Chains A and B, each alone.
Chain A
Amino acid sequence: MEIPYTVTARADTGLWNAKIGIWLFLASEVMLFGGLFSGYVFLRLGAASTPDYDWPTELLNVPMGFVNTLILIGSSVTVILSWSALKLREYNKFKIWMSITLLCAVAFLGIKTVEYTEKFTGYGIFLNDGAEIKGKYATEQEGFVTIVPKYPEKAEAAGFTPAPATLAVHEGSYVIPVENVVRWSNFQPSYNTFYSIYFTLTGLHALHVIGGVVVLGYFLFFGGPMWRTNPEHLANRVEVGGLFWHFVDLVWIFLFPILYLM
C-alpha cells in the first residue's frame, strides 16, 4: 500500500499531508521566534532598568533594513506568482518568477553581509568613567587605543587626543591611554546585549533565508522531472516552500522595526 493524500486532499480534513506538515512546522517556528522575541523584551526591560545602559538601535543602517524589507516582501509576491503559474501549468513563467525570488533572496543576503561587515569594522571603547566612544578602525598600539571616532567632539570631551603621526594609521585618529579603557571591541555579538540579540535574531533569520534558498532552488533546478510526471505535486511542493518563504518574510517584518527602529 502507498501513503495516501500526498497530492490530493483527504475528504474530511480537506488537506493534503505536506500542507499540514508545513503548518505544524511553522507553528513550532512561531514558538521559536516567540521565545526569542520574549527574550528580547525581557533583556530590553532589564537594560531599561539600569541607569546608563544604551540600546543603540540608531547604529543600524535603516535604509538598508528598509530596502531589505521591500526585497523580502517582493520575493513573497514573486513566489506566490510562481506558484500561480504552476497552477496554470505555465512552466516557463514559473521558472521566471522563481528565479526572481531567488535573486531577491540573494540580494537580501548580500545586503545583510554588507551590514554585518559594517558592524565588524565599527568599534566602541568603554572608558573607566563609564563613557562609551564609538567609531571605526580601533587598534591598540604602544599603550594607546586609537580610534576614528564618529563624533570627535564627544571623544575629546572624554579625554581622547588627536593621534600623533606615529599612531595615526587612519585619518582623523584619536588616542587614549590603555589605562583609561575598560574594554574595547568591534560591534560583535559580545559588545552588548543589543548586539547579542541583534546578531542572534538576524543570524537565525538569515539561516532561514538560506534554507529557503536551498528548498526553492531545488524546485527551480530539479523540478523538471516532477513537472513532467506530476505537475500538481510540484505545485503543492512549491506552495509548501512558499508558505515557509512567507513565514521568513513575516519574521523579518517584525525584526525590522524591533531592531532598526525602536
Chain B
Amino acid sequence: MAHSAEEIRSHVRFYIGVFVGLIILTILTVWIDQFHIGAEDSDVGNTIVGLAIATLKAGLVAAFFMHLTSEKPMIFRFLFATVAFVIAMFILMLLAHFDPIVPVFVQ
C-alpha cells in the first residue's frame, strides 16, 4: 500500500465525488417513492426500483470507500463465496416458500 501523497490527495477528491453521487441517489430513492411503479395492487415495482438504487449505492460504497476496486484477489475469493451463499440462502428459502405441497381436497 505504498500510496504517494499526491495519489492520496487525488483519491480524496474522488471520494468527495462519490459522496455527492450517493447523496443524489438517496434523494432519488425518496423522490421516486411517491410514484407507484408497476401493477396497481402490488408494490413489486417500487420494491425492485428501491432495491436497485440501494444496490447501486452499496456498490459505490464497497467499490470506492472500501477500496474493493483495488483489493487483492484473496479477498475477492472469499467475498465471492459469501455472496454466493447469501444468494443461495435467499433463493432456496423463497423456493421452498413458493413450492409447498398443494393442498387439494377432492370434495
Asked if B105 is at the interface (CB within 8 A of a chain A CB), the reply is: no
Which A residues between 75 and 118 are near B, CB-CB below 8 angstroms? 76-77, 80-81, 84, 87-88
User: Do A262 and B62 have beta carbons less than 8 Å apart?
Assistant: no
B85 touches A38 (CB 8 A): no
What interface size band does chain A fall in? 35 or more
Interface assignment of A62: CB less than 8 Å from any CB of chain B: yes
Measured in the bound complex, the distance between the Cα atoms of B47 and A10 in whole Å is 44
Check B61 against A88 for contact (C-beta < 8 Å): no
Question: Once bound together, how far apart are the Cα atoms of A59 and B74, in whole Å?
Answer: 44
Cβ distance B71 to chain A, nearest Cβ, rounded Å = 8
Q: Which residues of A contact B90 (CB under 8 A)?
A: 34, 37-38, 41
Cβ contact within 8 Å between B93 and A38:
yes
B8–A88 contact, CB under 8 A? yes
Known: A30-B83, A87-B3. A23 touches B75 (CB 8 A): yes
Contacts of A53 in B (CB 8 A): none
Q: Does A172 contact B (CB under 8 A)?
A: no
Cα–Cα, bound, A174→B74 (Å) = 63
In the bound complex, residues from chain A placing their C-beta under 8 Å from that of B43 are: 262
Indicate if the CB atoms of A15 and B66 lie closer than 8 Å.
Answer: no
Main secondary structure of the interface of B (DSSP, over half): helix
Return chain A residues, CB-CB under 8 Å to B26: 66, 69-70, 73, 256
From B15, B50, B78, B85, give the contact of A261 (CB < 8 A). B50
Q: How far is the CB of A113 from chain B (nearest CB, A)?
A: 22
A sample of 4 more A-B contacts (CB under 8 A), given A84-B8, A257-B53, is A15-B74, A87-B3, A254-B51, A257-B33
**B interface residues, Cβ below 8 angstroms from A:** 1, 3, 5, 8-9, 11-12, 15-16, 18-19, 22-23, 26, 29-30, 33, 43, 46-47, 50-51, 53-54, 57-58, 61-62, 65-66, 72, 74-75, 78-79, 82-83, 85-86, 89-90, 93-94, 97
